[in-house]
Chains A and B, each alone.
Chain A
């Protein structure tokens, strides 16, 4: 076999491998991305809730993107308790003023930041929420105080459309 022919085979080998690798990568991505949220799931991005029936000290739970959202109309005592907490006592320091722009209304995802269970209302050592799965305690601002959860319960994007309606998302 002449040297020239070997070189041609080497070229074919390299070229085929390179094109093959790019082709494989181009096919793999759609196969992976098809598992991401599809258009119909993304379309359910916002929801409007009528909160006129909610009295202070009560919580309304609504479903948004398949997850529960807690809407709590807080009592004066709860607000005072949440605002009196020192930042250095918190695992994930966040001011109550930043979490509840309108202090009477606390809106947050009712999802424990540990492994995703729904915490129970009016339970736990801090008068807020308690997650039954692995024992995380949240205060009246939904901030993690004790237990394995790393963060406070997430506050989603929301706004008051009018005095009685909250739009989440």
Chain B
């Protein structure tokens, strides 16, 4: 990195920076050479940072009014909605913010899948991302329990019961998680504690995620290694800052639409009924962002194997860099992978749809086929494709295709070295 020789202009700046090199860090972040061809799919990292901060700020303010007790939680949420100044706004931002967070993270993940951003040398960035994603799911699940409505209670019951599938120790683990013989007050108070903790763990992991990113630098739509800094890069500020900022504003319009015009459309009406351990709602479904995994869970008729399949569906992503054997990163130059990519996208959407439907008849059949295909994609298609696929010629630099160059190695290398 070229910023080691950075020196602040002012005397005070120099004095401070010699003692704590924060200004060097700021300079690194401003000058950070970024591929000049990043498209709008690359703006979701910034959008996700915004989502995290939004959840932390609104969450802290909600915690000032919320009461984590089985007898009072439901009422305290209604108190927030009706009595607290702008409580409705803060809660709707927080509740819909979770959905927006997942919307952005899914786009972010599928961008990585399309452009091969998880491949060497970016495996650690990818794995950190998967851990963040897992923590997001844990935080979202526990947050959904806090209003102590019917969906909160029964969602908590069903999800914690997943652990009872573990042979021998399963029941003991579930009792330990509950702090009792059913989901009750001890469960609520510990979920509140963990729900409060996890965002800060995510924040720490985001710092590592960005740190790991800044070592090799960004991948780009062409998916090739580029020289940094060079004619293929632009400094992060102002080029990427303004692009991220514009995309963020567009994203906030969508966000605001949900908060102000359809604040409950992504939730379930049953959660406005207080938790009742005697009655299970007729149709239990998790929040939309967990539906594909829920569909996988239900498509397996065996309890333990269903849980194993669901967890594998997530954890398989962690070893993706080694399952994909192709050396070419971007799907732009992988004509076959590009088609399988879109089939996978459709497959996950289908899983999400059947996850919301009752698990019977045709829906169950579709869920089973889609589940099988999901694993087939990662375990068979990706490894084989790397050997079988005839990829298109990859340009040597980002600038090259723009200048109309052919994949002529010698000519392009000459061109590169002259400009350097």
Contact = CB atoms under 8 A, between A and B. Distances in A.
Interface stretch (B8-16, B111-119, B179-187, B373-381): B179-187
A58 to B, nearest CB: 16
Interface of B: 154, 157-158, 160-162, 164, 175-184, 186, 190, 277-284, 298, 300-303, 306, 358-360
Contacts of A36: 175-176, 179
Given A41-B186, A114-B303, A133 B280 contact: yes
Given A114-B303, A117-B158, A37 B179 contact: yes
A35 B177 contact: yes
A168 to B, nearest CB: 12
Interface of A: 32, 35-38, 41, 61, 63, 65-68, 114-119, 131-135, 148-150
Contacts of B358: 135
B184 A66 contact: yes
A116 B180 contact: no
Contact of A37 (B175, B283, B303): B175
Contacts, number: 85
B280 A134 contact: no
A116 B161 contact: yes
Nearest to A64: B181
Given A41-B181, A66-B180, 13 more contacts: A32-B176, A37-B175, A37-B178, A38-B179, A41-B180, A63-B277, A63-B278, A66-B181, A117-B157, A117-B280, A131-B280, A135-B358, A148-B302
A61 B211 CA distance: 56
B162 to A, nearest CB: 7
A116 to B, nearest CB: 4
Contacts of B280: 117-119, 131-133
B283 A132 contact: yes
A43 to B, nearest CB: 11
Contacts of B182: 65-67
A144 to B, nearest CB: 11
Contact of B186 (A38, A67, A132): A38
Contact of B278 (A118, A135, A149): A118
Contacts of B175: 36-37
B177 A66 contact: no
B277 A68 contact: yes
A148 B301 contact: yes
A29 to B, nearest CB: 13
Given A66-B277, A116-B161, A148-B303, A132 B181 contact: no
A149 B303 contact: yes
A118 B158 CA distance: 11
Contacts of B177: 35
A134 B298 contact: yes
B303 A135 contact: no
Nearest to A149: B303
B359 A134 contact: yes
A35 B176 contact: yes
Given A135-B359, A148-B301, A149-B303, A37 B278 contact: no
B162 A115 contact: yes
A35 B179 contact: yes
Contact of B179 (A41, A115, A148): A41
Nearest to A112: B280
A18 B144 CA distance: 43
Contacts of B277: 63, 66-68, 118
B151 to A, nearest CB: 12
A148 B364 CA distance: 13
A133 to B, nearest CB: 5
A63 B180 CA distance: 14
B359 A116 contact: no
B183 to A, nearest CB: 7
Given A115-B157, A116-B157, A117-B154, A133 B284 contact: yes
A119 B282 CA distance: 10
Give 8 closest A-B pairs by Cβ, nearest first: A66-B182, A65-B181, A116-B161, A115-B161, A117-B280, A118-B280, A115-B158, A116-B157
Contacts of B154: 117, 133
A17 B202 CA distance: 31
A134 B359 CA distance: 6
26 contacts: A35-B176, A35-B177, A35-B190, A41-B186, A61-B278, A65-B180, A67-B277, A68-B277, A114-B161, A114-B303, A115-B161, A115-B164, A116-B161, A117-B157, A117-B158, A118-B277, A118-B278, A132-B280, A132-B281, A133-B280, A134-B359, A135-B358, A135-B360, A148-B298, A148-B301, A148-B306
B158 A37 contact: no
Contacts of B178: 37
